[in-house]
Chain A
Amino acid sequence: MSETFLVATKKGLFTVRQGREKRWTISRRQFLGDHTALVSSDPRSGWWYVCFEHGHFGPKILRSKDEGETWEEIRKPEYPPKPEGVKDVDPMRGTDIPWSVQRVWALECGTVRTPGRLWLGCIPGGLFRSDDGGDSWELVRSLWDHPDRKRWMGGGADLPGIHSIVVDPSDDKHVLVAVSCGGVWRTRDEGQSWNVSSKGLIARFLPPEQQGDEVLQDPHRMVQCDARPEVLWIQHHNGIFHSTDNARSWHEIPHAGPSTFGFGVAAHPKDGNTAWFIPAQKDEHRIPVGGRVVVTRTRDGGKTFEELRSGLPQQDAYDLVYRHAFDVDESGERLAFGSTTGSLYASNDGGDGWQCIGEHLPPVDAVRFV
């Protein structure tokens, strides 16, 4: 059971620890004033990673080998030179796709069988691999050069990006990535070849004949049950989707409390039937329904949902929770999320009750148990 989580915000990185009587408190504040956009940890090495968005100086990655006491900048992944004459244009906006990392949007590690293996997803749509804990990176050309990659398009972000990476706990060669907007992609050979795996997702923002196009889907976040890797959940732009056959097919869950729109989703690491969501009203109203923050939980594979509100603000609350700002620990009992309005909550009992840790933090981009 994890007693620490990291909170990456627009204005710094915060470490939150559980103290006496199971109360969570902010124990450390670092990089104040700097935009920390993503945080990750590698349970094999114990190393922590924080990804920065320096508005002027671009994205950077820092690594800590001593649980955040000290940090070192590591090499940033870089795209290879763009060949002369290559046309690479975002189909939604008609703007050039820069062959340059705009934002690190996903950072996940392999299993104990591949020590040092990291996968990094970014805007604009590049997937990078490291086999040395981030000392060096290589663009996964097979995905970048896939003809369908040029059909990926920007959504809320102006450019397409890889925000979710799922490594099969039983097979390191089997990796799924989710792209906004580009659907779900699968490799079974460590990234040598890729196939789209979005069957069943529905993009209602497209004309009717294109809504089922597997390459034009907008999954907001994809997560997996560690103990049952064939079970996956997607919070999609147009609803909640569930797979019980390792992403070979996806099924829509039509009802889930007050709304099925949102960004964050957490999968129980042991129980394949349990997942949590934090809904917003709808795509053009990205606020909690009725100004009341709620976490929804299913324990029966999406058939029914509970609305968990104890400890969460139920009046004039306009918190939106971004896709990486909601996490569950390895026990499935502790959850934490942070919002765009700088509120931070954690639960010790699977979401039944929530503790408010802060209401005036900077906007929260990412939360991760370590």
Chain B
Amino acid sequence: MPRVTFTANIQRHVDCPPVDVSGGTVRAVLDQVFAQNPRARSYVLDDQGALRHHMQVFVGGAQLRDRAGLSDEVPAGAEVYVMQALSGG
């Protein structure tokens, strides 16, 4: 099963421990994560379900390509990291 790990910076707003979930795409994986942890959803996705502008997701070390549809494949056993983009002030 893919393992999803969140940036440490999100933790002070909403608790997001690493979680093992099933699913073959980033969308399917994150849907499962947010079904268990609904408050975390709006920290990562916008109202239309796209990845927030200043967030980034890595799947097996590769950056997410489909930021709107989250259709990138997630191989079984892959590590998924939900990270902040390098931005802010």
For residue B50, which residue of chain A has the nearest CB?
A100
Distance, CA A76 to CA B41, complexed state (A): 11
Cβ B48 vs Cβ A56 within 8 A: no
Query: Chain B 64-89, CB within 8 Å of chain A: the 1/0 string?
Result: 00000000000000000000110111
- Closest CB in chain A relative to B25 CB, distance in Å: 19
Give every chain B residue within 8 A of A73 (Cβ-Cβ): 14, 39
A55 on the B face (CB < 8 A)? yes
Asked if A91 lies at the interface with its beta carbon under 8 angstroms from chain B, I say no
B-side interface residues toward A, CB under 8 Å? 9-10, 13-14, 39, 42-44, 46-48, 50, 52, 54-55, 84-85, 87-89
Determine if A101 is an interface residue (Cβ-Cβ < 8 Å).
yes
Pairs A–B under 8 Å by Cβ, sample size 14: A56-B55, A56-B85, A57-B42, A57-B43, A57-B44, A58-B43, A60-B42, A78-B42, A79-B47, A98-B46, A98-B48, A99-B48, A100-B47, A100-B50
Using a CB–CB distance below 8 Å, which chain A residues touch chain B?
54-58, 60, 73, 76, 78-79, 81-82, 98-101
Query: Complex Cα distance A101/B42, Å?
Result: 10
Q: How far is the CA of A60 from the CA of B47 in the complex (A)?
A: 12
Q: A54-B43, A101-B47 are in contact. List 19 more A-B contacts (CB 8 A).
A: A54-B13, A55-B54, A55-B88, A55-B89, A56-B9, A56-B84, A57-B13, A57-B52, A58-B52, A60-B13, A60-B42, A73-B14, A73-B39, A79-B47, A79-B48, A99-B47, A99-B48, A100-B47, A100-B48
Please, how many angstroms separate the alpha-carbon atoms of A244 and B13 in the complex? 46
Q: Which residues of A contact B89 (CB under 8 A)?
A: 55
Q: Is the interface of A mostly helix, strand, loop or mixed?
A: loop
Quick check: B87 and A55 within 8 Å, CB to CB? yes
**A77 to B, closest residue via Cβ:** B47
Q: Which of A57, A82, A98, A100 contacts B10 (CB 8 A)?
A: A57
- What residues of A have a CB within 8 angstroms of the CB of B47 in the complex? 78-79, 98-101
Contacts of A100 in B (CB 8 A): 46-48, 50
Tell me which residues across on chain A come within 8 A of B44, comparing CB atoms.
57
Q: How far is the CB of B85 from chain A (nearest CB, A)?
A: 7
A58, B48: Cβ atoms under 8 Å? no
B84 — which chain A residues lie within 8 A by C-beta?
56
A82 to chain B, nearest CB (A): 6
Q: Which residues of B contact A78 (CB under 8 A)?
A: 42, 47
How distant is the Cα of A29 from the Cα of B39 in the complex, in angstroms? 25
Give the docked Cα–Cα distance between A58 and B50 (Å): 12
List the B side residues contacting A60 at CB < 8 Å: 13, 42-43
Instruction: Among A56, A60, A73, A100, find the residue whose CB has the most chain B CB atoms closer than 10 A.
Output: A56
Closest beta carbon of chain B to A358's beta carbon, Å: 21
Q: Which of chain A's residues have a CB closer than 8 A to the CB of B9?
A: 56
- CB-CB nearest in chain A for B54: A56
Residue of B nearest to A58 (CB): B52
Chain B neighbourhood of A101, CB < 8 A: 47
B48 A76 Cβ-Cβ under 8 A: no
- Once bound together, how far apart are the Cα atoms of A81 and B84, in whole Å? 25
Given the known inter-chain contacts A57-B10, A60-B42, please indicate yes or no for A81 contacting B48, CB distance below 8 A. Answer: yes
Select which of A76, A81, A82, A98 is within 8 A of B42 by beta carbon.
A76
Counting chain B CB atoms within 10 Å of each CB, the highest count among A58, A60, A73, A78 belongs to A58
